[in-house]
Amino acid sequence: MNSNALVRNAPCGLIAISPDDRLVHANSKLSEWLGIDLEPLMGSSLSSILTPASVLFYETRMKQVLSMQREAMEIALTLKRGDGSELPALVNASVGPDGVVYAAVFDATGRHNFERELLRARREAEAAAERVRILQEASVALSVAQTDESVASQLAERARTAFAAARVVVLLVDERGDLRLVGGQDTDTADTDALWWPVDAAITGAAPIIVESLDEAATHPGLAEKLHAARLEALTATPIAHEGVDLGVLVCLFARHRRMEPEAIEVQEALAAIAAEVLIRLRLQRRLEHLAMHDQLTGLANRTAMFEHVSQAMVDARRTGRPFGLIFVDLDAFKRINDESGHVSGDRVLTEVARRIRGAIREGDLAGRHGGDEFVIAVRNVQASEAEVVAERVRASIAEPIDGVGHPITASVGVAMYTADRWDVPPDVLLDRADAAMYSAKAAGRDAIRFG
Amino acid sequence: MASWTLSVAEVRRRNNINEFGNPVGRPIVFLHGFGCNQGVWRDIVPTFEPDHRIVLFDLVGAGGSDLSAYDPGKYDSLHGYAEDLLQILEALDLRDAVIVGHSVSSMIAVLAANRDRSRIGGLVLLGPSPRYVNDGDYVGGFEQSDIDGLLDALDLNYLTWSQQMAPVMAGNGDRPEVGMRLADNFCATDPKIASHFARVTFLSDHRRDLAEVTVPTLVLQCRDDAIAPTEVGEFVHRQIAGSHFELLDATGHCPNLSHPAAVSASIARFLR
């Protein structure tokens, strides 16, 4: 027996490929397997016996490996049979000293289906595990968020990683009902009108808006151009909503055209739902905090909040050496309104007075309702003369007629300054002094200001 | 964006930058394509060493690059790689650089030049294709199902790869100075990254970016390139106004490996 017999009869295909990717030799076993006479194919390119996917793989991957490492073992490639069917194969290849690639081809039909099944199952399992991981991690990260901004930026970061998005922006509906950019990478295109179209569409609809390519974007005027200018090609806009309440939109921007798999969209919706729950919880929390610190009738700070604020203002004053003023306001003859016109009118007067006080004080000053018809104002970083200006504005604004109230409302105002000589005075003593000054104003004929 | 604040050393480390040649010569930056790393230029580099400053690097995710820098969002398109290329040009303070991009990296070079051409003096596109998937009248050479098949092949092969891709270096004994520095991690790759890069490479569409190219450009096309057919190379040439087109006396998709002399000669002519 000679080596030709070995080449001819060995239970594997043998093939030689020239350095410029031409078939130069094949044994008869390979011809037999492929059901074609390979002789006439000598000199033609590899694509005559490989599927396009395998040509891609061979040319872009295996060839470079062979060139670098001189051999490659157990490479899965798919050959084309004469009848158009496919022959899954495992290939061992090495580069000879002449630069020719010598390869042995093994029929892998037996393990092919098994491997495909394995691959499919593994991909599905990995994808499912990945989806669970994304949602779990997002759930944990978002549950500790204490602000809307933190929810938005966490959501943006999670979404960007999960969907390999070039950029993600999160827009939330603020207290006034306006949509504003809260989280995620800012984009120089975020303020262009066209880009807001999918956002508007998402906020008004229940389902995500999906734009997979610039061709699809072309259905909306200007969108494709804007995306291209921003080096973007695709996007999704997923509504963030909770039981019919629109909270915002999660916008993922992609720099190449993308097929949006239904599973990925489901994950986006689930992420948006997690964020929505946290946003609702934060809203409730803010509402409760507001209730705990505010007077319900007037919306001004309540006594607890005022005490905390004044304590802190005292610390700041001592630290900075800048005095502050505490103004005590008591309405004159308020009891008469309650008695003559009833509590509803009384409440209306209190609400109006609160509104006027708010308008009369400076930004950074804090007004509170001390109880009944008494109000307290903390005026920071002022000398007595400046505190008096504020006190006078408050007095004058209250003295303006109130619609529907028969007789004029006025206020007696007392001011106590927290100055260096009083650094050791506690908050309640300062309050007493302001209160006492207010009584001096009352004693002086009401509608007046006194210092104490 | 935070990544613009990377130091020069960080950029060098991220992209495993290696420099050769004449430090005061006109710079040439070589970009490897899908499936390998900067080592694919080993037979091209020597021709240009006497007269040129040569910069090789690995795309993030490939070779000796910093895998921790692989941000899937950033690298979900070739724009992310183009951004890196521009950073490299700036970090190394290269001027009038010639960018040689193989395969998918030819499009990375195009995107970088379109974004900021201030440091780029010319482009050499070796086996370029702006879109691999056929689309209407446009023949890219492949169908979506072929790309899916490639992704399957990548996944099916990754187990055997991880065993094979131990840093073995052969056939480079005559140029140890280049070979030694490039020997590590040859073609090794993380399967997840390889799969993602395959998607980005073969499913991107940059046809409309070609017309925006304004730097001198050479399109180098191989005969019988199964990945980037001659029609595609001609399409690229037609789309880039004023570009030169050269049909190499070479076949296949990796002439830098199979026909280095022909590739070097064409690049050298372009440089003159």
B168 contacts A160? CB cut-off 8 A: no
Q: How confident is the model at residue B4 (pLDDT cuts 50, 70, 90)?
A: very low
Neighbours of B253 (CB within 10 A): 30
Give the CA distances from residue A87 to residues A113, A117, A317, B42, in Å, rounded to whole numbers and listed in that order. Answer: 11, 17, 86, 35
Give the CA distances from residue B66 to residues B47, B60, B61, B158, in Å, rounded to whole numbers and listed in that order. Answer: 29, 6, 7, 20
The 8-class DSSP code of residue A301 comes to: B
Q: How confident is the model at residue A61 (pLDDT cuts 50, 70, 90)?
A: confident
The 8-class DSSP code of residue B212 comes to: T
pLDDT digits (tens, 9 = 90+) for A71-118: 888 888 999 998 989 999 989 999 998 889 999 999 988 877 787 788
pLDDT digits (tens, 9 = 90+) for B75-100: 999 999 999 999 999 999 999 999 99
> What ipTM was reported for this prediction?
0.78
The three-class DSSP label of residue A441 is helix
Residue with structure tokens 């393990």? A111
Asked if B135 reaches chain A (Cβ–Cβ under 8 Å), the answer is no
pLDDT digits (tens, 9 = 90+) for A125-174: 988 999 999 999 999 999 888 899 999 999 999 999 899 999 898 988 88
Whether B253 and A63 have beta carbons less than 8 Å apart is answered as: yes
Annotation says B206 is catalytic? no
B105 pLDDT more than 70 = yes
pLDDT of residue B267: 97
Closest CA to A105 of A7, A4, A3, A2: A7
- Rounded-to-integer distance, Cα A35 and Cα A29, Å: 10
Contacting residues for A90 by C-beta, under 8 A, at least 6 apart: A74, A75, A76, A77, A105, A106, A108
Q: Which residues in chain B are closer than 8 Å to A161, comparing Cβ atoms?
A: 72-73
Q: Which of B145, B168, B254 sits opposite A63 (nearest CB)?
A: B254
Phi/psi of residue B212, each to 5°? -85, -5
What average pLDDT does the structure give for chain A?
88
Annotation says B225 is catalytic? yes
Q: Which of A68, A69, A73 sits opposite B160 (nearest CB)?
A: A73
Phi/psi of residue A119, each to 5°? -65, -45
pLDDT digits (tens, 9 = 90+) for B168-190: 333 333 443 444 344 344 455 67
Asked if B19 reaches chain A (Cβ–Cβ under 8 Å), the answer is no
What average pLDDT does the structure give for chain B?
86
Q: What percent of chain A has pLDDT over 90?
A: 48
- Rounded-to-integer distance, Cα A58 and Cα A52, Å: 10
pLDDT digits (tens, 9 = 90+) for A309-347: 999 899 989 999 999 999 999 999 888 888 888 888 889
Closest CA to A410 of A345, A347, A336: A336
- Rounded-to-integer distance, Cα A126 and Cα B56, Å: 35
Mean pLDDT value of segment A215-223: 87
Residue with structure tokens 């580099």? B45
pLDDT, greater one: A41 or B176: A41
pLDDT of residue A6: 84
Q: How confident is the model at residue B5 (pLDDT cuts 50, 70, 90)?
A: low
Asked if B212 reaches chain A (Cβ–Cβ under 8 Å), the answer is no
pLDDT digits (tens, 9 = 90+) for A406-422: 778 899 999 999 999 99
pLDDT of residue A122: 85
Neighbours of A98 (CB within 10 A): 9
User: Using CB atoms and an 8 Å cut-off, which of residues 100-119 of chain B contact chain A?
Assistant: 103, 111, 115
- Rounded-to-integer distance, Cα A298 and Cα A302, Å: 9
pLDDT digits (tens, 9 = 90+) for A367-411: 999 988 999 999 998 999 999 999 999 999 999 988 877 778 899
pLDDT of residue A337: 84
Whether A30 and A13 have beta carbons less than 8 Å apart is answered as: yes
Q: Which of B76, B77, B253 sits opposite A59 (nearest CB)?
A: B253
Q: Which residues in chain A are closer than 8 Å to B111, comparing Cβ atoms?
A: 231
- Rounded-to-integer distance, Cα A206 and Cα A208, Å: 7
Whether B263 and B44 have beta carbons less than 8 Å apart is answered as: yes
- Rounded-to-integer distance, Cα A412 and Cα A328, Å: 8
pTM: 0.74
Whether A156 and A170 have beta carbons less than 8 Å apart is answered as: yes
Annotation says B103 is catalytic? yes
The three-class DSSP label of residue B178 is helix
A164 contacts B73? CB cut-off 8 A: yes
pLDDT of residue B188: 57
Question: From the CA of B157, how many Å to the nearest CA of chain A?
Answer: 6
Q: Which of B73, B115, B254 sits opposite A67 (nearest CB)?
A: B254
Whether A101 and B252 have beta carbons less than 8 Å apart is answered as: no
Most confident of A129-138, A202-211, B155-164: A129-138
CA angle, corner A131, sides to B195 and A116, nearest 5? 45
Residue with structure tokens 């580069």? A95
Question: From the CA of A301, how many Å to the nearest CA of chain B?
Answer: 41
B227 contacts A255? CB cut-off 8 A: no
